[in-house]
Structure 1
Amino acid sequence: MLTGKPPFAELYMDGAVIQAVLAGRRPSRPASCPDGLWDLLQDCWEEQPDSRPPISQVVERLEGSHIQAEQTESTPDWDEKSTAKFRRNLRGPRESFTSLALFERTIFGDG
């Protein structure tokens, strides 16, 4: 979103990204990222769900004077295949992951 590349673009396999996130890694801050946006991203990455801002606050902060985000056109390399792949990845349990343990069980199974 900020760099034109997916987060963890240096990691080529989905499993490597999952392991990085489970280990607490987060994408590094792009040089062009405003302080207000970086603060919002860090707030959204809080480990405890109750510590994360609600979506209404996220939208308010994105539209606020510190960030002033504006909707842009889709990137030229985004097509229907990308959309289909994205949606396939959203299928599965519709529960929200309220803990790291639940996320790990969903991804890796119970055993």
Structure 2
Amino acid sequence: MPGGRKRMTVYHKLVRDRIPEIIEASGRRCVVRVLDDQAYLDSLHRKLEEELQEYLTSRSLEELADLLEVAYAIAEFRGVRPEQLEQVRREKREARSGFRRRLFLLQVSD
């Protein structure tokens, strides 16, 4: 950059744990902070929305996996192990089934 000034990009978003290491390995520098509990949970919820939008745009398997990673992080924060989350998913599937039949509810009458 002219005059020796370096370009800085501001992100203000939750990143995976190894991202700072990856950035620094590329010869760049980054600044991070550790979030308190409420800021972390809020950031996880924003990240879930971000990953959902990325999946809806790309429909890629990688973005779908990112959604799962954020869901697991939220569960872990709430003290729930991945196995417990999976058990709840299985129980709901047993009680109400899944989405394989592609049913689209139009209306219900009394």
Q: TM-score, normalised by structure 2?
A: 0.30
TM-score by length of 1: 0.30
Structure with bigger RCO (C-alpha 8 Å, 6+ apart): 1
Larger radius of gyration: 2
Determine which structure has the larger helix proportion and give its number: 2
